[in-house]
Amino acid sequence: MNGMISDSIYEHLKGISQSKIGSFLGPVAIIEPESTVSDAINEISKSDSYDIFCMENGSVLTTNVRSLLEGKDISDMKIRHFLSPIQGLSSDDTIQKAANIINNYRVRTVPVVKNNEIVGAITAKNILEQLVKKDNKWIKANLIFTQNPITITSSETLSAARKTMVSKRIDHLPVLTKGVIKQVLTSYHILQALNPHENLGRRARGMKKIRNLESNIGNIGSTRIPQCSPNDNLNKILRMMLDTDTTCCLVILWDNLQGIITYRDILSLLAVKFESEIPLYVVGMPEDLRNVNLITSKFVKALKRIRNVYSEIQEAKVSIKQQRSGSKNRRGGKYEVSIMITTPHFAPFIFKEAGFDLSKIFEILSQKMLRKLSKRAKRRYKTSIRKIETPGLIEPI
């Protein structure tokens, strides 16, 4: 997205992003910290949810379907092993803040807390239901989709699919059969195979029969996943996803898979805009971090220095995703930060870094950007000098 489009989208969706979440609250799946994994799966199935929550010592703890895939023998395990802290909301918080938490923690539900009690939740689906009410026909799929998604073949095992989902931290794997996408395998399907004694209901559509993880994928997966073209508009995509009650949409061109659109891709449109000479949009900034304002202000200053070296930066877009720590005593796990720098002449520059200290990550990324764009600026300058100094043809006298 270039700067003008990002600004237009930000202003277009501002009314929704600044809306209070109180009127959109729904039920939430809750368990006790001492519950078993089987108890959690039963509650997930009963409530048709992806995330599940509990309160302990004033903190909100959570786990979800994908996190449960990390267990090797989950049938006899306690859920505590999979719990990690998450930031809760109050009913006066905004949809933008909810979207920010969803993107940062890679969840689909954010709990609302009052007097140390979970009283409800807002989901990614709730936010999509608000977005579809807007006229978003000018926002096209090619502005938001994740390109070249990871796929898997139907001849591979469910165990291989599980390993990919856990390592890449994804919930959707388009399945190729003879080079053609036939279905999409989800984390629900893998969890059903991991613990076949529990029923995940309609969320595990396509599970023809109980199989273990060493079985081939075959025809396991959801075949009702909507498809769109790169030029289809956001309203059409939202309606298809809501009508089919699915969590992704495949982007297809001439029968070839171009990309995938998930809840998080859509919610990234509700990025937080920061005051900066260069338009700066941040998705997933952990607002409960103590020094978040200091980190942001330092990065804004770094962008200004970089622009002094490379003046053609139009926009910076930051995406922050946080891994689960696996420990309730640790506030968070490793951060994965991606920065996209947009310029008028080249494809966007992408810079990535991961680590446990967000401040250090931004410092490293700032240095990477400065080195890369300084070299780019020098090459452009030398090219311009050569053009100027190229002698012209001498006309005959």
Q: In the prediction, which pLDDT does 347 show?
A: 82
CA dihedral defined by 172, 175, 181, 182, rounded to 10 degrees? -100
Read off the pLDDT of residues 338-364 as tens digits, 9 standing for 90 and up: 999 988 877 889 999 999 999 999 999
- The pTM assigned to this predicted structure is 0.84
What is the reported pLDDT for 209? 43
By the 8 A CB rule, do 21 and 122 touch?
A: yes
> What's the CA gap between 38 and 31, in Å, rounded?
11
- Asked whether this chain's domains 17-129 and 141-267 adopt the same fold, the reply is yes
Residue 374 in tokens? 């300084």
Task: List the CATH code of the domain at 17-129.
Answer: 3.10.580.10
Query: Mean pLDDT across the stretch 7-15?
Result: 93
Neighbours of 280 (CB within 10 A): 21
| 93-147: pLDDT as tens digits | 999 999 999 999 999 999 999 999 999 999 999 999 999 999 999 999 999 999 9
R_g of the chain computed on alpha carbons: 23
Residue (of 90, 98, 84) closest to 322 by Cα position: 84
CA distance 163 to 169: 10
Topology adopted by domain 271-385: Double Stranded RNA Binding Domain (3.30.160)
> Which residue ranges make up each domain of the chain?
17-129, 141-267, 271-385
Q: Tokens 């937080």 map to which residue?
A: 272
**Residue 154, CB-side half-sphere exposure with 13 Å CA sphere:** 14
Q: Pull the structure tokens for residue 177.
A: 């059969």
pLDDT, one tens digit per residue, over 32-80 is 999 999 899 989 989 999 999 999 999 999 999 999 998 877 767 899 9
CATH number belonging to domain 141-267: 3.10.580.10
Name residue 26's beta-bridge partners: 121
* Residues β-bridged to residue 61: 54, 85
State yes or no: pLDDT of 290 exceeds 90.
Answer: no
Query: What is the DSSP secondary structure assignment for residue 169, as one 8-state letter?
Result: T
What is the predicted pLDDT for the residue at 330? 47
Task: Report the C-alpha gap between 84 and 81 in whole angstroms.
Answer: 9
